[in-house]
Amino acid sequence: MGAARSYEKFVKEDFHTFDPATGQVVQFLDRSIFANPDCRNWYVVSAAEFSDFKTTQYQLRTERWSIPTPLGIIVFLELKWPQVKAAAKRIPGVSAVWLLVNREDRVVSVVYFQNRLAPFPTAGMDQLMSAPSVLAGYAAAHGWTQIYMAGHLALNIWLPFLPGDQGLAALWPNSDAIPLVPSTSDGVCSPSRRRDIGDRRRVPRDMWKRR
């Protein structure tokens, strides 16, 4: 997990970005839009996509469980994965599911992505949020405590980074409802998002690349 820890350090310490609310370059997690950020590196036990992520990941639900001990948790989750995947697929509109763990913090997480069930924002979110957790039965039997559960729109989808900032532009699935597509006034210079040098700021260009 060396790369994950390195990225965690990057996000928590090294990544500085422009805060539109203050007009200042600040540490990423200090941006005024964040409240009580919870940042961890995760081990991906498994993940499944049931349809094309580029067109079917409009909203998501995240749940996290505190577990009494991390001993054997990865092996257990690997064995549990087929049931988790099957249960998630039965939720209306679910287009992908991730099963994650952080052994150091003793936290297990499930993330579900959902397509819109009608042509307007949040369509289907009620079904997504009301569905039982795919881990609820086991959690109750083994003393797991749910510490977080929330649903929200997918603001953007970051695509793989390539050296020299030549990766594909990020996707903005809910831009029809929340016009967050980058503008020339946001202080970000990213050529892969069709920016030019006139929009550069005081940090290295590659620091801005969405990863």
Same domain as 135, residue 98:
yes
Q: Which long-range CB contacts under 8 A does 80-86 form with residues at least 24 apart?
A: 80/135, 80/138, 81/45, 81/46, 83/134, 84/110, 84/134, 84/135, 85/46, 85/48
Same domain as 161, residue 149:
no
Same domain as 169, residue 98:
no
pLDDT at 183: 53
Same domain as 166, residue 81:
no
Cβ(153)–Cβ(113) under 8 Å?
no
Per-residue pLDDT of the chain (211 residues; tens, 9 = 90+): 577 778 788 888 888 888 888 888 899 888 888 887 878 889 999 999 999 998 999 999 999 999 999 999 999 999 999 999 999 999 999 999 999 999 999 999 999 999 999 888 889 999 999 999 999 998 999 999 999 999 999 988 877 766 665 667 778 888 787 765 555 554 455 554 555 544 443 333 333 333 3
Provide Rg for the chain, Cα atoms: 19
Provide the whole-model pTM. 0.76
Same domain as 94, residue 59:
yes
Same domain as 33, residue 51:
no
Identity of the residue numbered 97: V
197 phi/psi in degrees, rounded to 5: -65, -20
Between CA 9 and CA 5 the distance in angstroms is: 6
Same domain as 118, residue 65:
yes
Which domain CATH number covers 52?
3.30.70.100
Between CA 188 and CA 205 the distance in angstroms is: 8
Cβ(145)–Cβ(133) under 8 Å?
no
**Residue 42: HSE in the Cβ half-sphere, 13 Å Cα cutoff:** 16
Same domain as 142, residue 53:
yes
Strands in 103-204 per DSSP E: 107-114, 145-153
What is the longest distance spanned by two Cα atoms in the chain? Answer: 58
Same domain as 199, residue 142:
no
pLDDT at 210: 35
pLDDT at 208: 34
Show the DSSP H helices in the chain as ranges.
2-9, 53-56, 73-89, 125-130, 136-141
- Domain residues for the domain of 194 are 157-211
Domain count, the chain: 3
**Residue 52: HSE in the Cβ half-sphere, 13 Å Cα cutoff:** 4
The gap between the terminal CA atoms of the chain, to the nearest Å, is 17
User: Bridge partners of 153?
Assistant: 59
Strand, helix or coil for residue 101:
strand
